[in-house]
A = this chain, B = another copy of it.
Amino acid sequence: MKLVYKIWVEGKTKAFGEGPYELLRKVEQLGSLNKAAQDMNMSYSKAWSIIKRAEKELGFKLVESNTGGAGGGGSCLTSQAKTLLNKYDEFCSEAGEILTKLYNKYFSELL
């Protein structure tokens, strides 16, 4: 028996959480939304809609894309996206640590 948690930010609907985080890290790494999607065994259209929804909700752009050209184009993160990812990193590691402690405090004996 284990603790599971999902934490995200939302406006009118889900905006940013673990899914967008991982996807954006892959984009940063690979320079392409298409490659990122393939790497995560995800369809391009899903990857695309994840990012578009997040951008719409957050109110700022997460990726800067070029279509056509050498290599067909590509995508890279905006500086706002980069700082968001870094903040999210720190947030999650702190949160995970604390929640694990709380779980042990309250449930370890019971479950």
- The answer to whether B107 and A87 touch across the interface, beta carbons within 8 angstroms, is yes
Task: Please tell me how many copies of the chain the complex holds.
Answer: 2
| Across-interface contacts of A4 in B (CB, < 8 A) | 7-10, 14
A103 at the interface (CB under 8 A from B): yes
- Complex CA gap A39/B102 in Å reads 31
Interface size class of A (residues with CB under 8 A): 20 to 34
Shortest A59–chain B CB gap in Å is 9
Knowing A102-B91, A103-B91 are in contact, say whether A111-B58 is a contact too (CB < 8 A): yes
Beyond contacts A2-B11, A4-B9, A87-B107: 16 other A-B pairs, Cβ-Cβ < 8 A, are A1-B9, A1-B57, A3-B9, A4-B10, A5-B6, A5-B8, A6-B6, A9-B111, A83-B110, A87-B110, A90-B106, A91-B103, A91-B106, A94-B102, A95-B98, A95-B102
